[in-house]
């Protein structure tokens, strides 16, 4: 049985997934901010920028990949935690129907932030386990 060299999710290395996730967040925020007067509509883009930059740096400087991936997961975790605001909207008078774009962005951050953060944690565990096996 051959051992893979890198942890993969959805067929992507975590570095490529990070670059893609950062880009997706930036595009989502920009798309939802068209016609919006609210600064908060840019939150996905604001979180996506450091994730994208960290992913690009992890790709370009493999010796520092561990550092940059930890920076990226920090911002992914912030997105996940921020996504819990979706549930606050369920209890308000405006609810989901008052601000559907905001609710969609919050739910997207909750779900994708969870998937990304869990994937990063699994990759960190995988890397540590494989590093320990390589030393044996």
Tell me the pLDDT band of 3, cut-offs 50, 70 and 90: low
Higher pLDDT, 118 or 132: 118
The secondary structure of residue 92, as a DSSP letter, is S
**Which of 7-11, 29-33, 94-98, 116-120 shows the highest mean pLDDT?**
116-120
Q: Which residue has the tokens 């997105």?
A: 79
| Distance separating the N- and C-terminal Cα atoms of the chain | 18
What does the buried/exposed string (b/e) look like for 31-69 if buried means 16 or more CB atoms within 10 Å of the residue's CB?
A: ebbeeeeeeebbbbbbbbbbbbbbbbbbeeeeeebeebb
Q: Which residue has the tokens 């919006």?
A: 36
For residue range 73-92, list pLDDT tens digits in order.
999 999 999 999 888 877 66
CA distance 26 to 103: 17
Ranges 10-19, 39-48, 93-102, 127-136: which has the least confidence: 93-102
* pTM of the complete model beyond 0.85: yes
Question: Looking only at Cα atoms, what is the longest distance across the chain?
Answer: 60
Cβ(21)–Cβ(113) below 8 Å: no
Supply the pLDDT for residue 2: 44
In the chain, domain spans: 8-135
Kindly give, in sequence order, each residue whose CB lies less than 8 Å from that of residue 121, ignoring residues fewer than 6 positions away.
73
Picking from 109, 82, 101, 90, the residue whose alpha carbon sits closest to that of residue 25 is 109
For residue range 10-64, list pLDDT tens digits in order.
999 999 999 999 999 999 999 989 888 888 899 999 999 999 999 999 999 999 9
């Amino acid at each position: 049985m051959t051992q893979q060299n890198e942890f993969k999710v959805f067929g992507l290395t975590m570095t490529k997934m990070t670059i893609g996730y950062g880009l997706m967040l930036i595009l989502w925020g920009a798309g939802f901010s068209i016609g919006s007067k609210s600064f908060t509509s840019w939150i996905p883009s604001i979180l996506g920028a450091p994730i994208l930059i960290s992913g690009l740096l992890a790709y370009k400087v493999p010796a520092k990949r561990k550092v940059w991936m930890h920076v990226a997961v920090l911002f992914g975790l912030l997105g996940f935690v921020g996504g819990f605001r979706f549930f606050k909207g369920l209890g308000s008078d405006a609810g989901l129907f008052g601000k559907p774009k905001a609710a969609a962005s919050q739910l997207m951050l909750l779900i994708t932030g969870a998937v990304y953060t869990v994937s990063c944690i699994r990759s960190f565990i995988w890397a540590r386990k494989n590093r320990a096996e390589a030393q044996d």
